[in-house]
């Protein structure tokens, strides 16, 4: 677990083991969302409800979205202990469109840099009358920890914690897939890249499994596949040509060099030569396959620019859907 001693800086890269996550932590007695920390353990019907409500927000004109009063009088605090562009901005837009009061906490100028513990930081923010914490942290389990110890009236949304989970990203990916493909049960979905260090991949696998996806394929070099990944119900491939053959969805992941503690690849050039998604390789998938990427996109590393900008790419749609999904989840956890 996370050490709450004030001598520990929140910038530490230690890994917190989240441990078992009882559904009661995330879900109230009446079956409604209280927090959104991980996809794991959330019932399929609740995931479908998130997707349905997200689609309702997508369908609204921008003007109607901006005027939605569902969080009027509520205070949302963005606590981003890691850098972010898309996630932080879409959470900010989602809160504003729901008429919430929003505070973006700048961790670089906060007391956390002076040695204040994570728990003390949360206690002080609670005293300011917050209703929701949106948390991104480099330590796995940080959002889970905050949800356990924060005041009962506060909801916590996990915006990414270490290698553990990124549940809202997974849900916007599921929404994008459903918009193009409808039913998940006949689909073959390939996730390609740095699976070992990707919190997004873990959340995607849990979401796809919960939604009864036909087949989930993992494609990566052996050094970038975590031990025991097969236990999550996926098929493992080490050659991209075999892995994306006849799939309906191709999800590319970036190489997360910042989380690699040893040299796991000979070179970026060789990685692209063996695993980069090119136009020729994409032809191996089904003709109507869609190409996805959670971002940031590293062109010429995991994906060719002609594919990233091509007719089968839905990467920008993912970004747009991120606002609607986060609006849906924020409105659901606040009742």
From 53, 75, 86, 180, active-site residue? 86
From 10, 34, 74, 87, active-site residue? 87
Residue 249, φ and ψ in degrees, nearest 5: -140, 135
From 114, 185, 222, 262, active-site residue? 114
**Is 180 an annotated catalytic residue?**
no
Which string of DSSP letters, residue by residue, matches 275-308?
H-B-HHHHTTS-TT-EEE--S---BTTTB-HHHH
**Is 34 an annotated catalytic residue?**
no
Give 245: exposed, middle or buried? Use CB within 10 Å, 0-12, 13-18, 19+. middle
DSSP assignment letter at 266:
S
Are the C-beta atoms of residues 335 and 35 closer than 8 Å to each other?
A: no
From 96, 136, 137, 254, active-site residue? 136
From 35, 96, 137, 166, active-site residue? 166
Which string of DSSP letters, residue by residue, matches 138-167?
SSTTHHHHHHHHS-TT-EEEEEEETTTB-H
- Cα–Cα distance between 52 and 171 in angstroms, integer? 11
- Cα–Cα distance between 49 and 52 in angstroms, integer? 5
ω before 179 within 30° of 0 (cis)? no
Q: Which residue has the tokens 């800086």?
A: 9
Are the C-beta atoms of residues 218 and 236 closer than 8 Å to each other?
A: yes
**Distance in angstroms between the alpha carbons of the first and the last residue of the chain:** 30
- Cα–Cα distance between 61 and 324 in angstroms, integer? 12
Q: Which residue has the tokens 């709450």?
A: 4
Are the C-beta atoms of residues 159 and 105 closer than 8 Å to each other?
A: no
The separation between CA 335 and the C-alpha centre of its own chain, rounded to angstroms, equals: 22
Task: Report the SS3 class of residue 104.
Answer: strand
**Is 199 an annotated catalytic residue?**
no
Task: Report the SS3 class of residue 262.
Answer: coil
**Is 86 an annotated catalytic residue?**
yes
**Is 254 an annotated catalytic residue?**
no
* Total number of residues shown for the chain: 335
Catalytic residues: 86-87, 114, 136, 166
């Amino acid at each position: 677990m996370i050490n709450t001693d004030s001598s520990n800086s929140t910038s530490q890269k230690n890994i917190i083991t989240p441990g078992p996550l009882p559904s009661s932590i995330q879900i109230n007695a009446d079956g409604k969302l209280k927090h959104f920390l991980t996809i794991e353990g959330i019932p399929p019907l609740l995931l479908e409800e998130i997707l349905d409500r997200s689609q309702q927000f997508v369908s609204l004109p921008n003007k109607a979205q901006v005027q939605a009063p569902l969080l009027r009088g509520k205070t949302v605090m963005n606590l981003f202990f890691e850098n972010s562009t898309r996630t932080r901005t879409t959470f900010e837009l989602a809160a504003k469109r729901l008429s919430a009061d929003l505070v973006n906490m700048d961790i670089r100028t906060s007391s956390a840099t002076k040695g204040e513990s994570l728990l003390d930081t949360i206690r002080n923010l609670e005293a300011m009358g917050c209703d929701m914490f949106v948390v991104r942290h480099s330590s796995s389990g940080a959002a889970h920890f905050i949800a356990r110890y924060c005041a009962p009236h506060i909801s916590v949304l996990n915006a990414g914690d270490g290698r553990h989970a990124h549940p809202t990203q997974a849900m916007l990916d599921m929404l994008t897939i459903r918009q193009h493909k409808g039913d998940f049960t006949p689909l073959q979905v390939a996730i390609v890249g740095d699976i070992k260090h990707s919190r997004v991949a873990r959340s995607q696998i849990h979401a796809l499994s919960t939604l009864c996806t036909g087949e989930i394929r993992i494609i990566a070099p052996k050094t970038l596949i975590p031990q025991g990944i097969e236990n999550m119900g996926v098929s493992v491939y080490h050659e991209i040509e075999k892995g994306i053959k006849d799939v309906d969805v191709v999800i590319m992941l970036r190489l997360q060099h910042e989380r690699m503690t040893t040299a796991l690849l000979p070179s970026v050039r060789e990685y692209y030569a063996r695993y980069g998604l090119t136009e020729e390789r994409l032809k191996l998938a089904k003709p109507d396959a869609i190409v996805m990427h959670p971002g940031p996109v590293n062109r010429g590393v995991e994906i060719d620019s002609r594919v990233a900008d091509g007719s089968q790419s839905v990467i920008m749609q993912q970004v747009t859907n991120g606002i609607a999904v986060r609006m849906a989840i924020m409105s659901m956890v606040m009742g």
